[in-house]
Amino acid sequence: MNKPLKQHLIDPEICIRCHACVEACPKDAITFNDDNVVVDAAICDGQMACIGPCPTGAIDNWRVVATPYSLEEQLEWMELPEQQEIAAGEGEADSEALDDAIATLLAEAHKGAGGVARAPASAAKPTVNLHGLENPLKVRVQGNFRLTAAASDNDVRHIILDLGPGHFPILEGQTIGIIPPGEDAQGRAHLPRLYSVSSPRDGERPSTNNLSLTVKRVQGGVCSNYVCDLGRGDEVLVTGPYGSTFLLPDDPEARLVMICTGTGSAPFRAFTMRRQRVMPTVNGRMKLFFGARSPDSLPYFGPLGKVPQEFLEKHFAFSRVDGKDKTYVQDRLRQDGEALAMMLTDARTHIYLCGLKAMEAGVEEAFNDIARASGLNWAEIRARLREEGRYHVETY
């Protein structure tokens, strides 16, 4: 069977035939006739040197194909073909990632949505798999900060990776792979581990070519310990970006319900910062339900406190605070049940779940109860939300 390939294509309706990309390509993979400029799939090795110089964005198009479109076909195009359904695994179009191992991890993480995940209709178009296992991107650690109190036995790190001159466009909600050095017990190179990007698309500060991760040290874990021990200036091999559905709607009207535990907060930090940057005055649209053992083991507890409640309505659930009842995110959802029930039937509502796989069941139950109390059917609502790209689960 032909392994599907991610083919680099140019949108002929947007391209203005300036040939800036032709000049920029170190491989001479881009050719043209009087009408179109096209990329030769046999030569292009995905270095992306052409992306920056293109003045139109025409160059930034990708299709997963079983057989690449030929140069002749492309030269005749008046418009870009739609993405065709590609048989992969169970016969679903798979464009979250191209490497099988990674695609499996993501499929597993998204399973909790109960069906094929879809991106929000208004989400920006993600780039996936620029750097596969064969051509990881080398980046440099710009910072490594502990997010949880020194006294807490939960060690979560805020890691900033400087992408240098690298082209690695990410959207909020996407993940990247990190390849830990060394080999596994069988003597094979380690596979990458996935980490959600916790910074917005234009960097930790606007227009910095960097990204951040939120990584928890796992006892005995190969990659998480490697990452948590990294120092400023160290080099790291990353792959990705991955994920084409767990994305932020580009719509000020969207209502976001974000539910997480621990490092599951990473994409929501990115979501919040994105909205703070592009629509800082749009209040009353985001709710965050965040579970941790205690305030000092909750990543970003301090910074979150500074985000105004009108902009981001925060509901913390602490499971191990002396003298307090154990509270989980699902308990907080129930407490806010009335408001949430109203949102369930609002076509602008998007629900996101990220973090511990274990919380899925409890959250499901909570929504079931909340819906029932208002005479609604959660299973039906969930299916509809999912089909419309408004229900997203990423748990691990």
Partner 1 sequence: MSDTINVSYDTQIPNNVGLSSDRRVLKALEKWHPGYLDWWKGQGPDGFQESLVYLRTAVSVDPKGWAKFDYVRMPEYRWGILLAPQVEGRIIPCGEHYGEPAWQEVPGEYRSMLRRLVVIQGDTEPASVEQQRFLGKTAPSLYDMRNLFQVNVEEARHLWAMVYILQKYFGRDGREESAELLQRRSGSDEKPRMLGAFNEETPDWLSFFMFTYFTDRDGKMQLESLAQSGFDPLSRTCRFMLTEEAHHMFVGETGVGRTIQKTCERMREAGIDDPTDIGRVRDLGVIDLPTIQKKLNLHYTLSLDLFGSEVSTNAANAFNAGIKGRYRENKIDDDHRLQDATYPVSEFTDGKIVVKEVPALTAINMRLRDDYSRDALGGVKRWNAIIRKHGFDFELTLPHEGFHRQIGTYTGAPITPEGEVITPEEWAARRDEWLPSKEDGDFIASLMKPCWEAGKYAGWIAPPRVGIDNKPGDFEYVQLHMA
Ligand X SMILES: Cc1cc2nc3c(=O)[nH]c(=O)nc-3n(C[C@H](O)[C@H](O)[C@H](O)COP(=O)(O)OP(=O)(O)OC[C@H]3O[C@@H](n4cnc5c(N)ncnc54)[C@H](O)[C@@H]3O)c2cc1C
Ligand Y SMILES: NC(=O)c1ccc[n+]([C@@H]2O[C@H](COP(=O)([O-])OP(=O)(O)OC[C@H]3O[C@@H](n4cnc5c(N)ncnc54)[C@H](OP(=O)(O)O)[C@@H]3O)[C@@H](O)[C@H]2O)c1
- Per CB under 8 A, 338 contacts partner 1: no
Residues 226, 321 contacting (CB under 8 angstroms): no
Query: Which one of the spans 16-24, 62-70, 297-305, 346-354 is the region binding partner 1 (CB under 8 A)?
Result: 16-24
34 binds, among ligand Y, ligand SF4, partner 1, none (CB under 5 to 8 A by kind): partner 1
394 binds, among partner 1, ligand Y, ligand X, none (CB under 5 to 8 A by kind): ligand X
Residue found by looking up tokens 């160290």 in the block:
234
Query: Minimum Å distance from CB 208 to ligand SF4?
Result: 25
Of 128-157, which residues contact ligand Y (CB under 6 A)? Answer: 153-154
- Per CB under 8 A, 166 contacts partner 1: yes
Size of the site for ligand X (CB under 6 A): 23
Per-residue contact flags (x/-) with partner 1 for residues 249 to 288, judged by CB under 8 A:
-x-x-------------------------xx---------
396 given a catalytic annotation: yes
One of 9, 10, 20, 340 touching partner 1 (CB under 8 A):
20
Residues 101, 60 contacting (CB under 8 angstroms): no
Rounded CA separation 95/109 (Å): 15
- Per CB under 8 A, 57 contacts partner 1: yes
Query: Which one of the spans 129-137, 209-217, 319-327, 328-336 is the region binding ligand X (CB under 6 A)?
Result: 209-217
Is the Cβ of residue 193 or residue 390 nearer to ligand X in the bound state? 193
Selected catalytic residue, list 21, 195, 212, 360 = 195
**DSSP string spanning 210-257?**
EEEEEEEPPTT-HHHHHHHT--TT-EEEEEEEE-SSS---S-TT-EEE
**236 burial class (0-12, 13-18, 19+ CB within 10 angstroms)?**
buried
Rounded CA separation 224/180 (Å): 9
Is the Cβ of residue 165 or residue 187 nearer to partner 1 in the bound state? 165
**DSSP string spanning 248-284?**
--S-TT-EEEEEEEGGGGHHHHHHHHHHHHH-TT--S
Rounded CA separation 393/359 (Å): 11
Query: Which one of the spans 83-91, 174-182, 266-274, 287-295 is the region binding ligand Y (CB under 6 A)?
Result: 287-295
User: Phi then psi for 322, rounded to 5 degrees?
Assistant: -50, 130
Take residue 103 and report the two structure tokens written for it. 């695609």
